[in-house]
A and B are shown apart, each in its own frame.
Chain A
């Protein structure tokens, strides 16, 4: 029997991966830099964190290294996009190739290591006893899941309510005006691309050190970096909506795994039981769903005349177009 509470709880855990990656990308894009290298940064972070944790037995050290690894790759993109004024789409793709390749090179032989020391799981006293939401959100969750809970309001508050957040939005919407106000456009763009990279690395480590520990090559992320980018469009660059989307997708991923273990549904043999070829239709689900939510997001953007940050993808050169 499928236990809905367990699916949702596991969905929240698995959604945390997407949450970190999507919020990181929101920071970079709100500053006007499109970074399509999320998948590469995640994989690189995932393998870096995992190998350090495997070598030292300390998952916290692995976590830090994973974030630094993601951040390091993001700086490469930042140089290309900000200083060399490269086509950001191509540079982001290059980052994905590079990150994937590096991860495979570093991960060579790691898949036999199996799960190593993982980050602790916690149950929040009192909150865990709240009916319905308690068992889903606060029971036996990885410590990173709680970090995710805290990150969402923090990101919303930072972007919408603080002075640095105002500067961030100005840099992404009207860099020339921001520049005239004395805001250092280049420095802020570097900073937020870096934030995106750190969070992508964290997302990778969330997989290998907490949610599904171990190293499985490219399958470790399995396109989740790209799903995060789709979520950003769906979320209309709002961290709160990104979080809702992330947890929803987390639940879908979880459901796909769980339903394969069930021999029968309502008395009928389950066509999606593991080993049957129909399971491939299940595997399409999250990706098809991304297309659906991106279409919804795009339609909404057309109707409400809101959308991507105005200067997204456009290099800023003092005195040139893009102001």
Chain B
């Protein structure tokens, strides 16, 4: 008896959804076995994750806060991955975005006392610009010299972190601590709890305007990808870059532009995080959002709205994971989820046939 894989042209949508769910369930099960093996209590850990992420409206709001940067960085990765551009640098672009947004009030670029409706858009622009500029480097190197973008984006992550550290330990340090002073109130994104005076139910809810940015970005990306020529040409390039080139598409330009937009989205995530949550700059503003974003993009199969769903799931994992010991458990589970996903992919792309060897050799593949 022999197991053969036969390519299939299209997979039904229900199969995609079912396999994705199955992959998550299997991954959690494998994670539980490992947890039990190292002496943890998997049932309690998972119950804790669920409770600490969705248990009441307060923690649900916290989950959305964690999901916000993940949506934006997840979109950044999904966009680049559609063109088979492996932007592994969302983490660095996120940090640069946070730095750029912080520069508006810390340099300060805008004089103190400007109203929020000036400061916040300026921070958004600065964050997106800084992130986009950071991603321009791997973009132009890839487009002009064919330099492997995986290596450049990764190295730029390390450089971005050292850059941010220089500013928060050095020129912008507050009293020698590893952080800047707090931003003025005009530089804070409005949170639900800020309206508690009018609507008491909102008291204590930390969900902030960044979530709206993320959802608007999702909607725009969804429309651009599915309804415009850009989206169509990007898909062509992703499927077969050489054929796209013969069709007269300027692939190099797309590579650069997509990298910059991808970086700008990640930069906006950084801005949203410092302006909406941290309210100051420090070097530990990201628990690896830019890396988790890679898994999210893949889990979402590069679909913008599915990125939102996946981000909420991972937001929960990160939020609850903070309290789980040992600290490597969330990273481990993320890795296992990703493996289960790629393993399940084989069922999407191929039909598994079980037959006898004689049959197998008789049917020559095309």
Contact = CB atoms under 8 A, between A and B. Distances in A.
Given A87-B342, A89-B86, A277 B169 contact: yes
Among B141, B165, B335, B366, find the residue whose CB has the most chain A CB atoms closer than 10 A: B335
Interface string A303-323: 000000000000001111000
Contacts of A233: 148, 151
Contacts of A94: 295, 335, 338-339, 342
B5 to A, nearest CB: 8
B34 interface: yes
A36 B342 contact: no
A206 interface: no
B147 A298 contact: yes
A177 interface: no
Contacts, number: 159
Among A84, A91, A101, find the residue whose CB has the most chain B CB atoms closer than 10 A: A101
Among B166, B350, B365, B366, find the residue whose CB has the most chain A CB atoms closer than 10 A: B166
A284 interface: yes
Interface string A102-125: 111111110000000000000000
A108 B327 contact: yes
**Secondary structure at chain B's binding surface: helix, strand, loop or mixed?**
helix
B147 A295 contact: yes
B121 interface: no
Interface stretch (A150-158, A207-215, A244-252, A286-294): A286-294
A40 B335 CA distance: 10
A319 B364 CA distance: 8
Contacts of A298: 141, 145-148
A277 B154 contact: no
Given A108-B326, A277-B170, A284-B158, A291 B365 contact: no
Contact of B335 (A98, A227, A291, A294): A98
A97 B335 contact: yes
Contacts of A109: 326
Interface string B305-341: 0000000000000000000011111111111101100
A243 interface: no
Interface in B161-205: 162-163, 165-166, 169-171, 173
Contact of B329 (A99, A105, A280, A287): A105
A172 to B, nearest CB: 17
A98 B339 contact: yes
B99 interface: no
B38 interface: yes
**Secondary structure at chain A's binding surface: helix, strand, loop or mixed?**
helix
A183 B34 CA distance: 38
Contacts of A278: 166, 170
A311 to B, nearest CB: 17
B34 A284 contact: no
A76 B328 contact: no
Contact of B331 (A89, A101, A223, A299): A101
Contacts of B342: 80, 84, 86-87, 90-91, 94
B345 interface: yes
B336 A98 contact: yes
A319 B366 CA distance: 7
Contact of A101 (B147, B152, B329): B329
B332 A102 contact: yes
Contact of A294 (B88, B151, B170, B365): B151
Interface residues of B, number: 53
A100 B158 contact: no
Contacts of A85: 5, 346, 349-350
Interface string B340-355: 0011011001100000
B291 A97 contact: yes
Given A294-B151, A294-B152, A101 B166 contact: no
A319 B365 contact: yes
A89 B150 contact: yes
B331 A104 contact: yes
B156 interface: yes
Contacts of A290: 151, 155
A268 interface: no
Contacts of A17: none
A282 to B, nearest CB: 9
Given A93-B294, A94-B335, A99-B335, A283 B162 contact: yes
Contact of B151 (A95, A96, A226, A288): A226
A197 interface: no
Interface string A218-237: 00000100110110010000
A104 B364 CA distance: 48
Contact of B328 (A89, A105, A317): A105
A84 B150 contact: no
B159 interface: yes
Nearest to A36: B150
Given A80-B343, A104-B332, 8 more contacts: A85-B346, A87-B345, A91-B342, A97-B295, A104-B327, A106-B38, A277-B171, A302-B146
User: What are the 5 closest A-B residue pairs judged by CB atoms, nearest first?
Assistant: A104-B328, A101-B332, A277-B170, A98-B335, A97-B335
6 contacts: A97-B295, A104-B326, A104-B332, A109-B326, A277-B170, A301-B146
Interface of A: 36, 40, 76, 80, 84-87, 89-91, 93-109, 223, 226-227, 229-230, 233, 277-278, 280-281, 283-284, 287-288, 290-291, 294-295, 298-299, 301-302, 317-320
